[in-house]
Amino acid sequence: MLADSLSGVRVMDFTQLAAGPICTMLLGDMGADIIKIESPQGDLARKLGPPWANGESVTFIAMNRNKRSMAIDLKKPGAVPLLLRLAESTDVVIESFRPGVMDRLGIGYEQLRRVKLDLVYCAITAYGQEGPWRDKPGVDGVLQAVSGLMSVTGEDGSAPSKAQTPTVDMVTGFLAVSAVVAALRQRDRTGVGQMLDVNMYASSLMLQQTSIASYLHTLTVPKRSGSAAPYAAPNEAFHARDGYMMVAAYDPDRWLKLCKAVNRLDLADDPRFVDNSSRVANRDSLVEILNECFCRETRDYWVAKLEDEDIICSSVCDYSEVVNSPQVVHNELLVEMEHPIAGHILLPGFALGSSPKCAGIQRRAPLHGEHTEEILDELGINASEIDALVADRVVLSINPQLHNDEFLEPIEANTLLRTD
């Protein structure tokens, strides 16, 4: 199972905010032991909100399950020796500082590989380790802008639009997982580690593979096209009587079936719509005609009718519909966790692999510094030494009375609507 495929792999996680934590969360979902190294102030994502759950950031909790938190002040004299000691038993280091910061701290790739020759080291940055922009900071919205993604998002003639979910952060985290797993596979074969350069800018360009390829072929800057796919029609959202639905019927057979379903067989012989290229060229006229047809009935009516004809379609769902969908319920794609401060939390689970559903989630997101003493104890540091490190503020350890046993189980989505 994927849920234990990385069992035995230890990861030192120096990342914060989103891209890096998404990467390490997924590695943890696959069984890796993730040690989240935090400053005394904690991951910046701990302060991202709303929403808040009893003062805890839901955003942080959503991206940091399956990790242990060790809080350490990297500027204190005793910090680097501790981390070098931890590196001896570490397989992967992932960090999201600007290029050169880890080197200046004394824990960069070259310094760490002296104590762990086969170390896999993944640096996640905004623009990469080299190039004229290497030292520039970046966040998801800025990367959506500079990568061109924002220029093609939204309706034609509208202001630039940002995807509400942190798309570039997410895809960067996903690609970093792929790079780390591939590097571990190579290390298993060769015994050699390596440094990986994963950055948000390159990841955002990879996300736009087809769009940028189209531009390079035509040298025509694309307009925003709303819900429409610029290469196919009909393939966009249409307005039914009670809301929007997405219809993809550009395949010749499905186009003919759609004409029959809306009782407009004449459209199949219309020269403006005779093939996909013609329909793309005359999209505005096509959308106007089909909207007139669809607005006569409800979304549910049309989705059922079109699905009977094997036409690919769906209602445009909001989150309340998504989390209560029969597919989410059947595959148990949501989990609930008990957090010692936030309380009862519902989250998307680990959706890769097969049975058991949502496997791999063993820990809730950690409290700041929750596992500091536990990790130091594993390194063979005795209690009096740990007390001294805490007293000297080299490390931060929270009150162990705040610890609660992790608890989670799959939930049925319809429980989300309860108000008690």
Tens of pLDDT along 207-254? 999 999 999 999 999 989 999 999 999 999 999 999 999 999 999 999
Query: Residue 221 is encoded by which pair of tokens?
Result: 């800057």
More confident residue, 408 or 384: 384
Task: Please write down the HEC assignment for all residues of 56-84.
Answer: EEHHHHHHCCCEEEEEECCCCCCHHHHHH
CA distances from 366 to 128, 162, 395 (A): 29, 30, 16
**Secondary structure letter of residue 240 according to DSSP:** E
Instruction: Indicate the average pLDDT of the chain.
Output: 91
Specify the pLDDT at position 331.
Answer: 87
Specify the pLDDT at position 409.
Answer: 45
Tens of pLDDT along 338-362? 999 999 999 998 888 765 566 667 8
117: amino acid identity, one letter:
L
Give the span between the Cα atoms of 322 and 112, in whole angstroms: 45
Sign of CA dihedral 351, 353, 354, 358: negative
Tens of pLDDT along 356-397? 566 667 899 999 999 999 999 999 999 999 999 999 999 998
Query: Residue 357 is encoded by which pair of tokens?
Result: 């559903």
Tens of pLDDT along 88-123? 999 999 999 999 999 999 999 999 999 999 999 999
pLDDT at 143 over 80: yes
Q: How many residues does the chain have?
A: 420
Q: Can you say whether residue 154 is alpha, beta or left, with left for phi > 0 and alpha for psi between -120 and 50 degrees?
A: left
Q: How many CA atoms lie less than 13 Å away from 107 in the CB half-sphere?
A: 26
To the nearest whole percent, how much of the chain has pLDDT over 70? 93
Q: Can you say whether residue 125 is alpha, beta or left, with left for phi > 0 and alpha for psi between -120 and 50 degrees?
A: beta
Tens of pLDDT along 164-204? 999 999 999 999 999 999 999 999 999 999 999 999 999 99
118 labelled catalytic? no
Catalytic residue among 73, 156, 169, 387: 169
pLDDT at 263 over 90: yes
